[in-house]
């Protein structure tokens, strides 16, 4: 074992070597920055994409359909070709407001890196069973969809044979198909809401194509089984999402997979004192993905949960390039626009805009709405309007605010985002 080398320096430390972290590091490199260090907790670059062996990645970014590992490999190859330094099996345990990053790995023990800028790209995790507070026993056989995906795709292990899935998030839908292809029987996908949280294409390709029923407005109310799961009781829910007793139905199964939402993994962010957005669970950032601590940026699923990795990469480029500007003292703060939403739109990322440069604003809606228009206003002045036939919580929306639009705003304006009905 090498000598412990416990204090290092780097211009830019990127926490996380998944799609966001790699794309941010590559973007920073392409802007001329060389002293970069990626810290990755797993034993390979690629993050969660490594276990996403299905296709459908890269249509926007590369104009072709790739599997998760293929998509990740495009970036991994670039990181390696550029010679961007990275450390694997390295867990970051602290980031402070002075951009001192503390991490640990087998070679260096516990060490710190003093950085000029930091990009947070830790991704997200799945909501566990406990958080759902389902009554009943606590047997084996209950996993989040992602854990099951890891067992099946990375470890060659079958977590079960007869499956019920709670939640219709994308990983749940993907795993419904995956488990079916591996010979398991997927009996139902229950979704608490009256609509699915997953992408329309996944419902088509992963459920409908295999005849797996999607039971909307249904939930699991009780878990049965002492050692291993033997059954779940499901129920239809009323408008206030309360189970309706007459609809209780017990389905024998040995596995319950949960796909009930993703939570940005912001423990480090929180501990460093960065303000988080209560809705996204990620940091409050400006158009260049800078958090409220200057020089600390965030991108990808740690900032807000994305539907497509293509958008993660796009956002990571913004953060990577902005970090270089920050290090060079070129990041401008000419404005302080505050972005607010009306409730039908749940959040925007960014939440603030600090320079009058072209800015793409991402957002999600709270429910399924038809025949609406997205309206962006400064006070009563309409900046932009866009008609949509249908918007849904499962599909992230974007609008592009041009430099001219932003330059026309008062420097400290509040910009509102709302959904309005379109009269036919």
Partner 1 sequence: MFDYVVIGAGVVGGLVARELTKYRLSVCIVEKTSDVAMGATRANSAIVHAGFDAKEGTLKAKLNVQGSEMMEDLCSELGVKYKRNGSLVVGFNEEDEATLHSLIERGEKNGVKGLSFVRRDELVKIEPNIGDGVTCALRAETGAIVCPYELCIAAVGNAMDNGAELKLNFEVKNIEKCGDVYRISSENETVEAGAVINCAGVYSDDIARLVGDDSFSVRPRRGEYMLLDKECGSLVGHTVFRCPSKMGKGVLVSPTVDGNLLLGPTAEDIDDKNDTSTTPKGLSHLSSLASEQVKGIQLGKVITSFTGLRATGSTGDFIINSPIDGFINCAGVESPGLTSAPAIAKYVVEMLKKSGRELKENERFNGVRRPLHYFRELPVEKKNEIIKENPDYAHVVCRCETVTAGEIIEAIRTNPKPTSIDGIKRRTRASMGRCQGGFCTPYMVELLAREMGVPVTEITKSGGESYINVGKTEKGNI
Where does this chain bind partner 1 (CB under 8 A)?
Answer: 1, 4, 6, 41, 89, 91, 93, 104-110, 125-126, 128-131, 133, 135-140, 143-144, 146-147, 150-152, 154-161, 182-183, 221-223, 226-228, 254, 267
Which residue lies nearer to partner 1 by CB, 176 or 203? 176
Instruction: Give me the least distance between CB of 51 and partner 1, in Å please.
Output: 10
Which residue lies nearer to partner 1 by CB, 34 or 228? 228
* DSSP state letter for 276: B
Which residue lies nearer to partner 1 by CB, 135 or 380? 135
* Bridge partners, 19 (sequence order): none
* Contact indicator for 337, 383 with CB cutoff of 8 Å: no
Q: Which helix (H) or strand (E) holds 201?
A: helix 200-202
Alpha carbons 318 and 287: distance in angstroms, whole number:
8
* Radius of gyration for the chain, computed over Cα atoms and rounded to the nearest angstrom: 22
Instruction: Give me the least distance between CB of 268 and partner 1, in Å please.
Output: 10
Alpha helices per DSSP H over 9-127: 19-30, 68-82
Buried b (16+ CB within 10 A) or exposed e, 397-414: bebebeeebbeebeeebe
Which residue lies nearer to partner 1 by CB, 193 or 353? 193
In the numeric block, the tokens 């407001």 are attached to 97
Buried b (16+ CB within 10 A) or exposed e, 12-32: bbbbbbbbbbbbbbbbbbebe
In the numeric block, the tokens 């198909």 are attached to 177
* Contact indicator for 61, 313 with CB cutoff of 8 Å: yes
Alpha carbons 325 and 129: distance in angstroms, whole number:
42
Instruction: Give me the least distance between CB of 266 and partner 1, in Å please.
Output: 11
Which residue lies nearer to partner 1 by CB, 162 or 288? 162
Pairing between strand 369-378 and 414-421? antiparallel
Instruction: Give me the least distance between CB of 406 and partner 1, in Å please.
Output: 36
Which residue lies nearer to partner 1 by CB, 266 or 416? 266
Which residue lies nearer to partner 1 by CB, 102 or 418? 102
**Largest separation between any pair of C-alpha atoms in the chain:** 72
250's CB contacts (< 8 A; 6+ apart) are 224, 231, 232, 233, 234
Hey, what are 287's tokens?
A: 């158009």
Instruction: Give me the least distance between CB of 108 and partner 1, in Å please.
Output: 8
Angle at 360 between CA 356 and CA 364, to 5 degrees: 135
Cα separations in angstroms, 339 against 234, 286, 350, 379: 40, 10, 8, 12
Which residue lies nearer to partner 1 by CB, 88 or 251? 88
Alpha carbons 81 and 241: distance in angstroms, whole number:
52
Which residue lies nearer to partner 1 by CB, 144 or 341? 144
Instruction: Give me the least distance between CB of 2 and partner 1, in Å please.
Output: 10
Please classify residue 242 by burial: count the beta carbons closer than 10 Å to its beta carbon, then call 0-12 exposed, 13-18 middle and 19+ buried. exposed
Helix, strand or coil, per DSSP, at residue 356 = coil
Which residue lies nearer to partner 1 by CB, 159 or 198? 159
Which residue lies nearer to partner 1 by CB, 126 or 286? 126
């Amino acid at each position: 074992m090498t000598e412990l080398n416990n204090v290092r320096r780097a211009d830019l430390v990127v926490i996380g070597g998944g799609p966001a972290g790699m794309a941010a590091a590559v973007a920073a490199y392409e802007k001329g920055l060389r002293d970069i260090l990626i810290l990755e907790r797993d034993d390979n670059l690629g993050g969660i994409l490594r276990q996403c062996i299905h296709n459908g990645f890269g249509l926007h970014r590369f104009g072709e359909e790739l599997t998760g590992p293929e998509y990740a490999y495009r970036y991994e190859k670039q990181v390696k070709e550029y010679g961007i330094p990275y450390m694997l099996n390295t867990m970051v345990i602290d980031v402070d407001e002075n951009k001192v990053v503390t991490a640990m790995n087998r070679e260096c023990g516990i060490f710190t890196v003093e950085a000029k800028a930091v990009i947070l790209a830790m991704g997200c995790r799945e909501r566990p069973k406990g958080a759902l507070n389902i009554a009943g026993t606590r047997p084996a056989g209950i996993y989040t969809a992602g854990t099951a995906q890891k067992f099946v795709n990375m470890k060659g292990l079958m977590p079960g044979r007869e499956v019920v899935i709670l939640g219709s998030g994308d990983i749940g839908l993907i795993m419904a198909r995956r488990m079916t292809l591996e010979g398991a029987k997927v009996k139902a996908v229950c979704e608490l809401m009256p609509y699915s949280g997953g992408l329309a294409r996944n419902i088509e390709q992963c459920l409908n194509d295999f005849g797996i029923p999607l039971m909307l407005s249904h939930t699991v109310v009780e878990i049965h089984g002492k050692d291993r799961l033997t059954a779940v009781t499901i129920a239809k829910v009323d408008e206030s999402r309360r189970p309706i007793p007459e609809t209780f139905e017990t389905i024998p199964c040995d596995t319950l997979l949960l796909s009930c939402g993703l939570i940005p993994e912001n423990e480090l962010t929180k501990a460093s004192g960065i303000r988080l957005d209560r809705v996204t669970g990620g940091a409050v950032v400006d158009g260049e993905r800078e958090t409220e601590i200057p020089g600390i940026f965030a991108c990808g699923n740690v900032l807000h949960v994305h539907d497509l990795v293509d958008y993660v990469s796009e956002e990571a480029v913004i953060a990577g390039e902005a970090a270089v500007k920050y290090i060079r003292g070129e990041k401008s703060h000419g404005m302080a626009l505050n972005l607010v939403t009306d409730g039908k739109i749940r959040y925007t990322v960014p939440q603030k805009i600090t320079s009058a440069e072209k800015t793409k604003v991402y957002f999600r809606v709270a429910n399924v709405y038809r025949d609406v228009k997205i309206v962006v206003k400064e006070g009563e002045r309409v900046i932009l309007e866009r008609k949509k036939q249908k918007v849904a919580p499962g599909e992230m929306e974007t609008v592009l605010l041009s430099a001219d639009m932003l330059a026309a705003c008062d420097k400290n304006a509040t910009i509102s985002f709302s959904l309005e009905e379109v009269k036919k």
